[in-house]
Structure 1
Amino acid sequence: MTGPNQDKSKGKPRKGGRPGAPGQGTHRPGGRHGPKAADGQRKGGPKTPDRADQATTGIPARKIAVDILNKVIGERRPLDEELRETGGHPEFFALEPRDRALVRAILGTALRRRGQIAAVLDRLLERPVPEKTGLVLDILHVAAAQILFMEIPDRAAVATAVAIADRDGRSRRYKGLINAVLRRMTAEREDLLAANAAPWRNVPVWLFAGWQKAYGEETALAIAAMHLHEPNLDLSVKNDPGGWAERLGGHVVAGNTVRLVRPGGRVEALEGYNEGAWWVQDAAAGLPARLLGDVADKSVADLCAAPGGKTAQLAARGARVTAVDISARRLERLSENLARLGLAAEVVSADLAGYTPDAPFDAILLDAPCSATGTIRRHPDVAWNRRPGDIAALAEQQFALLERAAGWLAPGGTLVYCTCSLEPGEGEDVITRFLAARPEFRISALTAEEVGIEGVVTPRGELRTLPVSLPLDPLASGGLDGFYAARLVRS
């Protein structure tokens, strides 16, 4: 199988460093004939007024974006944690709402387009940036995201980048380099974009190769392209999805999921929020709980339950739910969501390795900890925060949790195992290993009719959704999180 061609850059390959830096994880193995690059048109993005004082007033927001990008890439910190009011970047919530939105937009763009940006920088840098240069690479990536892909005045992006470098002791000596590289970038923007437009650039080599092997090159390329689009807002509604779709201006995409096309403003301001009529949950994430079938008045364990979307689904359908999660903080959010929705569940903060229920459960839903590569559309940092060895390590943890949870299932009961990962090593392979070790379990094959989405049931009867599942027109209106699920029955 051939892959995208390897790019030839002017700069020498960077040795060591972080993923996505020039020379690291931006080229693909394969033949000389890669996928045809898209045109070099400048992409639309968040618009910022072209005001004269942008270069000076925009420094704090951009400096925070640089700091957070440094943490996300250099320390593998989840982006969501850095943007959280408690425990996140200490200055982020001190910004005006407009500037907070700018920081989010810059970071989203810088991470979604990280491979393309790194390839552009490879072409513009005559030699690799030395390792110990402070924030130089992060400053360049933040500025490049604005220059190449956002509707922000070039002079603001360049001037603030130089000013940020000047304020950092280790980066100061490179401000001339930063200025020269970014000015050349603005002058050659269209040619640089045309030469580096292929979406596969924005996926680390090892991750893209795994998708090629699992799904074929065409699908792998389509997944990479879909990751450039921010997902729409999906809501799981308690009842009357058609009515809520009409009221909110959305459409029903699967079961009780209503999809809204990127509504503006706060989610809390939407009709139905205060009365607890719905909760936010990707359409794919809403499928595993439905696979348990009729759970009315059954005892059901939701394991690794936070933030609680699946718990809410089960409780809304009449189950007696025990929601277990290791994180007490995340369970607080789960309890708050249940209270708003008018739903009830027993909430238990525990490590599953040491947890033992009082009695067997009629049904179990295990949403196992995973690499979360199926959520890159929502969390673009995931692509750059994972390493090849993570998958095997997580698979061992997942198998151990599945083995333990299986012992809590009553005879004749149903267990659904799921992960929000695109990697077969965390899905199909775990189930194959489990079935070989536990012959009293078998797969209860799913049908397209009960799932409600075409093309997501495997030949073995498992669920496998991809970011390119649920194709709609326009393309950005479709898509799903990548999920795997298997329904197991204990004889």
Structure 2
Amino acid sequence: MTSIDPARSAALALIAGVTEGQQTLAEQAGVLAALAPPDRARANRLALEVLRNLSRADAMLKPHLRKAPPPDLRALLRLATVELCLDGTAPHGVVNAAVALAHAGGKRTEGFSGLVNAVLRKVAGETERWGRLDPPALPGWLRGRLMSAWGKAAVMRMEAAHLMGAPIDLTVKSDAEAWAARLGAELLPTGSLRLAPGAQLTELPGYAEGAWWVQDAAAALAARLVGARPGMRVLDLCAAPGGKTLQLAAAGAEVTALDISEPRLARLRENLARCDLKAEVIAADALDWAPAAPFDAILLDAPCSATGTIRRHPDLPFVKDAAGIKTLFALQSALIDRALGWLAPGGRLVYCTCSLLPEEGERQVAAALERHPGLTIAAPELPGIAPEWITPEGALRLRPDFWAERGGMDGFFIADLRPAA
């Protein structure tokens, strides 16, 4: 009898937790806790691949199933199908491992081991069909909104970008060109570094001494737009997990990092220590807290739908829906209004969301301009920004299908807001 592969077993639990339990992968971190580091990494990779390719796996399986299988069996078949078609793992090994997992699954799957064996052998014989399948479509509630905003062709390009996943980008404290050479990374036009696939972060030069941190190139632009400099008083509002705080501190600013979540701030403090950077870290609700003195600049990375990060978090479409969005819109508006009242004369508020929805970006800022007479958007002046990223109003609209030839970027909206003098 084939022994049970702990990585595959954990991946199955994660997949079921997302598709059946509506839990994000982050919320299921305990599933991986007991695994050895290599198995933990493999289980996470397998879960991500299956969630990214779910509809394609179902399309491969459909001709060989007379009726929909029960949830546990469906997760097992999806996992094995992705391994066969995407990973190119030896078919006999995948089939044998899947049959072993079926036997180990108790009453829910053990009676289907023969079906698992027969179906997967058929899938293994037609893997060439995989490459002709369309990228998985976004859920209807989100796809409809994005089609209205950006059009069908753009949404299909975004879906293709989501299927490709996300490379790892770094922000360096200084001398990006030298670090790009040392790490064998691509120096992107905006100043971020993009690593080659397969890099083991903690083993790379510069990790232990805190010379760099992981941060998507799109996210890094928001902090760059602040224009932080030595002596400047800057508030990073909704700061955790802290990549932008690190950028602002590395530029020499006097940074206050505020977030409502103490557990999330713990990671921020760890990264500040690793990178030998300083910031005042405060756990508080921004709707209740007030500063002792105004700030020269405020960076508000507002709570949002996170729809711009689906390429790196393919679990999100399965656990989010339209139900809670209106609450987020109201919170974003309240945070903008509150932050504008904390600016010193001549200050700026950089508002951003990692969202593809205009309601959390373009429309949110348009409403703020109506509420605050004299408030304007300053055009972004940063190296590497393509003209097509700039909206007619002067904000930045970033999408996963931009830089497609380089591996894409997260979806972001960023606006540099200036109150009336």
Question: TM-score normalized by structure 1?
Answer: 0.80
> In structure 2, what is the Cα distance between the partners aligned to 1:483 and 1:181?
42
**1:273 Cα offset (Å):** 1.9
SS at match of 1:227: helix
Following superposition, the deviation at residue 462 of structure 1 comes to 0.5
Alignment of 1:223-262 (within 5 A): 223-262=158-197
Quote the residue 1:367 is aligned against.
301
2:412 to 462, 473, 483: 483
CA offset at residue 488 of structure 1? 0.7
- Match in the other structure for 2:19: 73
Structure 2 Cα separation of the partners of residues 160 and 148 of structure 1: 15
**CA distance in structure 2 between the partners assigned to 1:111 and 1:293 by the alignment:** 38
How far, CA to CA, are the matches of 1:336 and 1:300 in structure 2? 20
The alignment status of 1:184 with 2:122, answered yes or no, reads yes
Distance 1:222 1:136 in 2: 32
Deviates more, 1:283-292 or 1:177-186: 177-186
What percentage of residue pairs aligned between the two structures are identical? 43
* CA displacement at 1:139 relative to structure 2: 1.5
User: Does the 8 A contact of 1:453 with 1:470 survive in 2?
Assistant: no
Letter in 2 for 1:389: A
Report the equivalent of 2:389. 456
Q: 1:105: how far off?
A: 2.5
Query: What secondary structure is seen at the aligned counterpart in 2 of 1:347?
Result: strand
Deviation at 1:98, TM superposition (A): 3.4
In structure 2, the gaps of 5 or more residues are none
Map 1:113-262 → 2, pairs under 5 A:
113-129=53-69, 133=70, 135-166=72-103, 167-191=105-129, 193=130, 197-199=133-135, 201-262=136-197
Cα-to-partner distance string for 1:305-324 (whole Å, 9 max, x where unaligned):
11111111111112111101
Shift of 1:151: 1.9
Deviations 1:358-403 (A, max 9, x none): 2222211110111212112221212322213343332222222222
Question: Aligned in 2, Cα 1:180/1:202: closer, same or farther, shift over 3 Å?
Answer: farther
Query: Within 1, Cα distance between the matches of 2:235 and 2:131?
Result: 51
Q: How does 1:76-87 map to 2 (within 5 A)?
A: 76-83=22-29
What is the deviation of 1:454?
4.5
Q: Does 1:468 find its partner at 2:397? A: no
User: Aligned-pair distance for 1:134?
Assistant: 5.2
Residue 22 of structure 1 is matched in structure 2 by none
Partner of 2:246: 312
Contact 2:189/2:383 (<8 A) preserved: no
SS of structure 2 residue aligned to 1:135: helix
Structure-2 change in CA distance of 1:461 and 1:354 (3 Å): same
Equivalence for 2:288:
354
- Aligned equivalent of 2:371: 437
Q: Provide the rounded CA distance (Å) in 2 between the counterparts of 1:125 and 1:388.
A: 32
Q: 1: CA distance between counterparts of 2:65 and 2:373? A: 58
Report what 1:105 is aligned to: 45
User: Which deviates more from structure 2 when the two are superposed, residues 161-170 or residues 238-247?
Assistant: 161-170
| SS at 1:57 equivalent | coil
Matches within 5 A, 1:276-291: 276-291=210-225
AA matched with 1:467: P
Contact 2:237–2:257 under 8 Å retained in 1: yes
Residue 135 of structure 1 contacts residue 165 of structure 1 at CA under 8 Å; is this kept in 2?
no
* Conserved? CA contact 2:352–2:361, under 8 Å: yes
Q: Is the 8 A contact 1:420 1:481 kept in 2?
A: yes
Residues 1:403 and 1:68: Cα distance change in structure 2 (over 3 Å): same
User: Residue 348 of structure 2 contacts residue 418 of structure 2 at CA under 8 Å; is this kept in 1?
Assistant: yes
Distance 1:144 1:344, change over 3 A: same
1:222 corresponds to which letter in structure 2? R
Secondary structure in structure 1 of the residue aligned to 2:323: helix
In structure 2, what is the Cα distance between the partners aligned to 1:168 and 1:362? Answer: 62
- Please list every run of at least 4 consecutive aligned residues from structure 1 whose deviation after the TM superposition is greater than 4 angstroms: none
Closer, same or farther in 2 for the Cα pair 1:342/1:60, shift >3 Å?
closer
Deviation track 1:226-259 (CA, whole Å, cap 9, x = no partner) reads: 2222322211112211111112112321343122
Contact 2:3 2:100 in 1 (8 A): no
Moved more, 404-413 or 105-114: 404-413
Structure 1 residues 415-463: Cα deviation after superposition (integer angstroms, max 9, x where no partner): 011011111121111111222222242222224x556344211111011
Q: Distance in 2 between matches of 1:235 and 1:211?
A: 29
Q: Which has the higher helix share?
A: 2
- CA deviation after TM superposition for structure 1 residue 334, in Å: 0.8
Residue matched to 1:331: 265
Q: What SS does the corresponding residue of 1:364 show, helix, strand or coil?
A: strand
List per-residue Cα deviations over 1:171-219 (Å, max 9, x = no partner): 334444433332332233334x256x111x3422333333322222222
For 1:244 and 1:453, locate their aligned partners in 2 and report how far apart those are by CA, in whole Å.
24
Which amino acid counterpart does residue 418 of structure 1 have in structure 2? C
For residues 66-109 of structure 1, give each alpha carbon's deviation from its aligned partner in whole angstroms, at most 9, with x where no partner exists: 111111222222213424xxxx21xx243334333331221121
Rounded Cα–Cα distance in structure 1 between residues aligned with 2:115 and 2:206: 53
Q: Does the C-alpha gap of structure 1 residues 246 and 190 become closer, same or farther in structure 2, counting only changes over 3 Å?
A: closer
Q: What is the CA–CA distance in structure 2 between the aligned matches of 1:206 and 1:115, rounded to whole Å?
A: 17
Q: For residue 59 of structure 1, what is the amino acid of its counterpart? A: D
Change (3 A) 1:97 1:304: same
Other structure's SS at 1:254 match: coil
TM-score (norm 2): 0.92
**Structure-1 separation of matches of 2:228 and 2:33:** 44
Contact 1:252–1:258 (8 Å) recurs in 2: yes
CA–CA separation in structure 2 for the residues paired with 1:451 and 1:346: 31
Change (3 A) 1:194 1:151: closer
Q: Which residue number in structure 2 is paired with residue 378 of structure 1?
A: 312
Using a 3 Å threshold, how does the CA distance of structure 1 residues 409 and 124 change in structure 2: closer, same or farther? farther
